[in-house]
Amino acid sequence: MIDFELNEEQQLIVETVRAFAAEVIRPAAHDADETQSIPQQLIDQAWELGLVQGSIPEAYGGYASQASALTGTLIAEGLAQGDLAIAAHILAPRLVVDAVLNAGSEEQKKEILPLYCKDRYVAGAAAVLEPRWDFSCNKMQTTAKCDGDDIVLNGEKCYVPLAKTAPYTVVYARGTDAPIEAYLLPAGTPGIEIGERESLMGLRALETYPVTLTDVRLPASAKLPGDASALLRRSRVAQSAMAVGVARASLDYSIEYAKEREAFGVKIAQKQAIAFMLAEMAIEVDAARLLNWEAAWSVDHDNDSSRKVALARGYTDNAVMMVTDNGVQVLGGHGFTRDHPVEMWARNGRGFAVIEGLASV
Amino acid sequence: MNFELSKTAKQRQKLFHSVAENMMRPISHQYDEAEHTEPDDFFQAMWQATKANRMAESPSGDAAASNGAAASNGKSASNGKPSEATLVTAVQIEELSWGDCGLYLSIPNPGLGGAAVSAVGTPEQKQRYLKNFYDGEPKWGAMAITEPHFGSDSKQVATTAVRDGDDWVLNGTKIFCTAGQRALEKSDGFVVVWATLDKSKGRPAIKSFIVPAGTPGVTVDRVEDKMGIRASDTAVITLDNARIPFDNILGTPEIVEKGRAGFKGVMATFDATRPIVAASAIGVGRAALDFVKDKLAEDGIEIRYEADRHDMTVLEHEVIDMEAQLQAARLLTWRACWMMDRGERNSREASMAKAKAGLAVTKVTQKAVEILGPLGYSCQWLVEKWMRDAKINDIFEGTQQINLMIVARSVLGYSSSELN
């Protein structure tokens, strides 16, 4: 029957992530955005939470008991509520891990997954977007063509997180058999050119790069045999979860501010215009969260997931923009300065509608 | 966590969808055009059908009522599993409203009046007014709160109730009373009327009174001509020295100045009914959405959910947005129902659901007419009717603005004196 309750293990994960996000991530967020960097110590600390290793089955060195798209969603939401860029960095390994787990061959799993079960953080990356205003996942211009026993990749990718430090990047390309296919690209393969680090409106603490592939040659075994479109769906679920986290941060912060700030003799929260704005924000956060939980659940249960993920994604993209924009509005002139995080959350908020492959569940 | 309806819920959904499709849709247009006529065959058929399924399973009032009463203790089904009574009610009502919202509201039923009796009535009152409700001919229960000078500001009740020996004497005017005419004039039903024992004492003096059909001094002046839900009678009732037995008061006749427990108890029934009204709204919205998708499909137009933004047609954008809005409203509604079924206080969630559903269905049905152009606007199809039916859902049982106020107070932790 319909049930919105988290089980005990999920509740524990949510609480653990919430505490880490509030106590460790959020205090570091402002400086990270200003300096466009994340302290390594924070990444190491996050690694100890086992959020990546916890999604890898024991057979490959992890300690997954409950890996599921839903659990990954709860994690992504909680971390992003601390900070989006930091969350994306922490979860970047899952761009590779989730792709291999869900679409990889047994050999690929054996080769790659143990790398992510060590006691140190190892980065992961995914290359999805291409530098065109009308980029379309269904009409990628990066190609994968057969040449003898090899695959040859050509194309230009952008917004590739951690391209310089990830030992593997999952490259999504228009393939030999399907419009979207995924390939495991080891760092250092000849033909890869990583450009200068990008400067984006938001996500500024996350290192993202343009990557050009010129006749990059891979063995046929580099192809992920499973359904690459399904992987992109998992990435959308993760992104939408992070959007909910960012929206939630903006809502909570605005509520607190509005209850303190005075105008016309009362707290501004006591004025209907502000109060109703906050009420609408609260409704949208909850609506987006529930839609995305349903989407995650539908991935786990193979239940009309392509439609549900698409609906949740579209809705959440709009909701997070509305909420984070209102967050700036509630703080007025102060919201426009970088003293408060609301403008950063609005800059981050706009990203969800344009980005693919930021995280995965 | 689970997003699949239980077997029971699916069965009920199927059953009620069948009622909607086979019993309601064929007469939908007729009773929209011929406002103020009585779909007697439909009433008889529904009456016979619901006679067999009492209490928890009838549409609208009863399940909400029994859940309202159980709000504090999480009623369990007999097999020990958690109850899903409210959620199943919501599913059923979505189907009936998909069929015809006006006809759904017209189904002979104890209604909100019955819900009040069920929630706060004495065993004797329940015996007299509810126990044999489904005997004999179709009957209606109704609730009369609104007066000409107020709707949202419900503490402004000016209808008076004065003790006179073994009776109460009621004086005043009630408007916007759903099923008021059918309850008082067309059947052996009753209306629960809010009246004040002493206007100077405000909220604590407002009580509810059971006013049965045939009470002397009670007149149905007229029924409204409405934009939509035309099959539902919306009555203006005058009470002119209307005399009812002393025992017809619901709750205590004492004016408990500090506690406000009585008023709160009534407001708590709104926590039960708001998600149900939200479910009804969603049904109307879904009727419009389904119709749009069917019309597009007839012309070979399919909605490609995973098309990229720039590839999507305007139509696809609009339909996908409609669908997401409705599903968002539906999940918020189911959450409020689920909480009710678990005995959890759900005021915030109930108001979120109602606010979202009211807004969503208004937009969805308006968009549906727009998309379907000259034929959407024509009375040949039902879609313009659904837009007219939809609007009331954002108004009754708590307007959009009142529900936003309740959500705002909840998220801000403010009382009504701090935020109003």
What is the domain-level CATH number for residue A34?
A: 1.10.540.10
Do A107 and A151 belong to one domain?
no
Q: B85 in contact with A at a CB cutoff of 8 Å?
A: no
Torsion-angle region of residue B33: left (phi > 0), alpha (psi -120 to 50) or beta?
Answer: alpha
Name the average pLDDT for chain B: 91
When mean pLDDT is compared across B45-54, B132-141, B283-292, the lowest value belongs to: B45-54
Q: How far is CA A94 from CA A46, B182, B331, in A?
A: 13, 63, 29
Number of CB atoms found within 10 A of residue A106's CB: 7
Closest residue in chain A to residue B401, using alpha carbons only: A276
Tell me the Cα Rg of chain B.
21
How many helical (H) and strand (E) elements, i.e. helices and strands, does chain B have? 14, 8
B327 and A139 in contact by Cβ < 8 A?
Answer: no
Q: Is residue B279 part of a domain?
A: yes
Q: Is residue B69 part of a domain?
A: yes
Do B161 and B273 belong to one domain?
no
Look at residue B67 in the predicted model and tell me its pLDDT.
36
Rounded CA-CA distance A341/A335 in Å is 8
Residue with tokens 């994340």, as numbered in its chain: A38
Look at residue B69 in the predicted model and tell me its pLDDT.
35
Look at residue B216 in the predicted model and tell me its pLDDT.
96
Q: Is residue A82 part of a domain?
A: yes
Q: Letter for the amino acid at B180?
A: G
Task: Kindly indicate the confidence band of residue A33, based on its pLDDT and cuts at 50, 70 and 90.
Answer: very high
Q: Is residue B205 part of a domain?
A: yes
Do B321 and B230 belong to one domain?
no
B4 and A301 in contact by Cβ < 8 A?
Answer: yes
What is the domain-level CATH number for residue A268?
A: 1.20.140.10
DSSP A166-208: -SEEEEEEB-SSSSSEEEEEETT-TTEEE-PPP--SS-TTS-E
Cβ–Cβ < 8 Å for B67, B86: yes
Percent of chain B with pLDDT over 90: 83
Q: How many CA atoms lie within 13 A of B109 on its CB side?
A: 29
Do B45 and B13 belong to one domain?
yes
Do A25 and A63 belong to one domain?
yes
pTM beyond 0.90, yes or no: yes
State how beta strands A208-219 and A223-224 pair: unpaired
Do A145 and A91 belong to one domain?
no
3-state secondary structure (DSSP) of residue B242: strand
Q: Which residues of B touch A3 (CB under 8 A)?
A: 1-2, 338
A279 and B308 in contact by Cβ < 8 A?
Answer: no
Cβ–Cβ < 8 Å for B119, B61: no
When mean pLDDT is compared across A73-82, B185-194, B255-264, B305-314, the lowest value belongs to: B255-264
Reply yes or no on whether the pLDDT at B258 is more than 80: no
Q: Which of A46, A114, A129 lies closest to A83 in space, CA to CA?
A: A46
Cβ–Cβ < 8 Å for B112, B143: yes
Number of CB atoms found within 10 A of residue B13's CB: 16
Buried b vs exposed e over A182-203: b needs ≥16 C-beta within 10 Å?
A: bbbbeeeeeebeeeeebebebb
A283 and B320 in contact by Cβ < 8 A?
Answer: no
Number of CB atoms found within 10 A of residue A75's CB: 30
Give me the residues paired with residue B219 across strands. B238
Do A263 and A326 belong to one domain?
yes
The set of catalytic residues of B is: 397
Reply yes or no on whether the pLDDT at B66 is more than 60: no
Cβ–Cβ < 8 Å for B233, B223: yes
Do A198 and A236 belong to one domain?
no
The CA-based angle A302-B350-B134, given to 5 degrees, is: 95
Show which of A117, A140, A160 is a domain's final residue: A117
Show which of A65, A91, A117 is a domain's final residue: A117
A204-226, pLDDT tens digit by residue?
999 999 999 999 999 999 999 99
Q: Which of A74, A106, A140 lies closest to A357 in space, CA to CA?
A: A140
Mark out the alpha helices in B107-140 (DSSP H runs).
Answer: 111-120, 123-126
Show which of A157, A191, A224 is a domain's final residue: A224
Do A35 and A129 belong to one domain?
no
3-state secondary structure (DSSP) of residue A29: helix
Provide the number of structural domains found in chain A.
Answer: 3
Give Cβ neighbours of residue B403 (< 8 Å, ≥ 6 apart): B274, B351, B352, B354, B355, B358
Q: Is residue A106 part of a domain?
A: yes
Do B16 and B119 belong to one domain?
yes
Q: Which residues of A touch B334 (CB under 8 A)?
A: 2, 4
Task: Kindly indicate the confidence band of residue B105, based on its pLDDT and cuts at 50, 70 and 90.
Answer: very high
Which stretches of chain A are assigned E, i.e. beta strand? 125-127, 143-147, 150-161, 168-173, 181-186, 192-194, 208-219, 223-224, 262-263, 266-267
What is the domain-level CATH number for residue B385?
A: 1.20.140.10
A134 and B305 in contact by Cβ < 8 A?
Answer: no
Q: Is residue B419 part of a domain?
A: no
Do B16 and B126 belong to one domain?
yes
Q: B332 in contact with A at a CB cutoff of 8 Å?
A: yes
3-state secondary structure (DSSP) of residue B213: coil
Look at residue B63 in the predicted model and tell me its pLDDT.
42
Show which of B250, B273, B299 is a domain's final residue: B250
Provide the number of structural domains found in chain B.
Answer: 3
Q: How far is CA A13 from CA A49, A54, A73, A262, in A?
A: 9, 10, 11, 38
Domain that holds residue B97: 7-131
Look at residue B260 in the predicted model and tell me its pLDDT.
56
For range B91-102, the mean pLDDT: 98
Rounded CA-CA distance B200/B219 in Å is 27
Do B180 and B236 belong to one domain?
yes
Do A72 and A154 belong to one domain?
no
Shortest distance between the Cα of A255 and any Cα of chain B, in A, equals 7
Rounded to two decimals, the ipTM of the complex is 0.93
Structure tokens at A103: 């679409």
Shortest distance between the Cα of B90 and any Cα of chain A, in A, equals 12
Task: Kindly indicate the confidence band of residue B309, based on its pLDDT and cuts at 50, 70 and 90.
Answer: confident
Domain that holds residue A329: 228-351
For range B189-215, the mean pLDDT: 96
Which residues between 351 and 370 in chain B have a beta carbon less than 8 angstroms from any beta carbon of chain A? Answer: 352, 355-356
